[in-house]
Amino acid sequence: MKEGKESRLRSVIKFIGAKSADAALLVFLLTIAATCAGGYRLYDATKQNIRLQGKVNAVKAAKEFDGYLLVRKSTVILSGNVVDEMIRQGRPNSEILEYMSSESLSIKKSIDKDYTGLYGWINGEYLDGDGWVPDEDYVPTERPWYLETIGDDSAITFVKPYLDAQTNTILTTVARKLSDGKSVIALDITLARIQEITEEIAEHTAGSYGLVLDDKGQVIAHSDPPGVITFTIEETKQNEGKATLRFSMKDTGIGMDREFIPKLFEAFSQEDTDNTSRYGGSGLGMAISKRFIEMMGGDIKVESEKGVGSTFLVTVTLGLVSASDLPAKDAEVQEEDVSDLVGLHLLIAEDQELNAEILADLVEMEGMSSEWAGNGQQAVEMFRQNEPGHFDMILMDMRMPVMDGLTATRQIRSLRRPDAASIPIIAFSANAFEEDVNQCLRAGMNAHFSKPVDIGLLKKCLMKYREI
């Protein structure tokens, strides 16, 4: 009897031990699963917080910009009212200049030391409240601040960034066309302060980066420390109808190690891959540049020092052009009407979210809408899951994770639905060699664009294929 009890006890212990091992394994697996789930939730929460902080920073920056611009906008509006009244009363330009000078000095002292002063084309004469006297070859009515304002029917005009003749720097202008339809009063806006605001906002969040773009997608400010880029052109030789030019581009950027310089012109070569995620790029720019320069019979050299900057020297021989070969000064460039682009719905396949957002903003400015796919597989699925005609066109990046643009295009073209064969698919890639373009066309794409995107060329391309 005693042996029977001991036998049963040993069986129970073995049973419990076996179950305990299974339970332990189950607990271990559940722990791993919970840890992974918790890790994902932490990752997702962190990502959402970063997105939220980015939006908060963008709103802060927008308010700072609005405040900075509002003073200048208000100044031009109020000063324009005064000058308009003086013109109606027949006051001489000497009195108008005296007012503009007094107003400029007052604002500079009381509000903004960087204030550049009022100026304009008044009653057929250039007047400058800051006392600047232009060179003889300066024609006010041919400058961007005048031409854009005269051609704009808005109450106030914000001129696109341009090279200023006085300071030789890039700036923009807020201006107003006066009631006579010929006079303009203007005030410059230096981009330096916008640059400072962008840097200040980005500093609020560790690891963040700020960009300010104009309506054409051009960068006008960023959160990097300010640097200097010097570009010079020198003619070194001229004979037999040709001239040899040397282009020098020097910057005070991050520079490169001397050991890396021999690899600079190799395809997909990048010294610091951390910068790729921050600034983008595929490492093809210098390889493509070198090939183009060599095709023109020129050469390119580089000198660089880490932490100091780089100098690129390009030498090329070009044919001389006579004055008779130049277009007439008053020739007008006819721009294609792009009103038919309004209402188009695009599918943007791009793995870099920032690139996709910029492209989406650009097409939205032209009255189009878009949806985003983060890789080729998502693009195929989004096209498949929506009814025919939902997307009017597809903008397809070439290099994407999971599925590249070529494979995605082939899969879309092979789908059994009426729009699969006809929907325009436009390639975007840093690869601009002829073979790369041919690969895109063979895969079933309609056109190829190299990065960065030229919105003007893109609009013409969209117009071409909008009715396919």
- Render pLDDT for 145-177 as a digit per residue (tens, 0 to 9): 999 999 988 889 988 877 777 777 777 889 999
CATH architecture designation of domain 229-321: 2-Layer Sandwich (3.30)
Bridge partners, residue 176, by sequence: 185
- For the chain, the average pLDDT equals 77
**308-324 pLDDT per residue, tens:** 888 888 998 888 766 55
Q: How far is CA 20 from the centre of its chain?
A: 61
Region of poorest pLDDT, from 40-49, 56-65, 73-82, 249-258: 40-49
With residue 282 as reference, give the H or E element that holds it: none
Please tell me which residue, 66 or 181, carries the higher pLDDT value.
181
- The pLDDT, as a whole number, for residue 15 is 46
Residue 174 tokens read as 């807020």
Query: Hey, where are the domains in the chain?
Result: 71-193, 229-321, 339-465
**375-401 pLDDT per residue, tens:** 999 999 999 999 998 999 999 998 888
- Closest C-alpha to 350, from 383, 379, 327: 379
- The pLDDT, as a whole number, for residue 329 is 45
Any idea what the Cα angle at residue 227 is, between residues 222 and 231, rounded to 5°? 110
Average pLDDT rounded to a whole number, residues 365-371: 88
Fold category of 71-193 in CATH: Beta-Lactamase (3.30.450)
Fold category of 339-465 in CATH: Rossmann fold (3.40.50)
For the cut 70, the answer to whether the pLDDT of residue 13 exceeds it is no
- Residue 334's pLDDT band, with cuts at 50, 70 and 90, is very low
Please tell me which residue, 220 or 346, carries the higher pLDDT value.
346
Region of poorest pLDDT, from 95-104, 296-305, 335-344: 335-344
Cis peptide before 452 (omega within 30 of 0): yes
- The pLDDT, as a whole number, for residue 310 is 86
| d(C-alpha 366, C-alpha 460), whole Å | 12
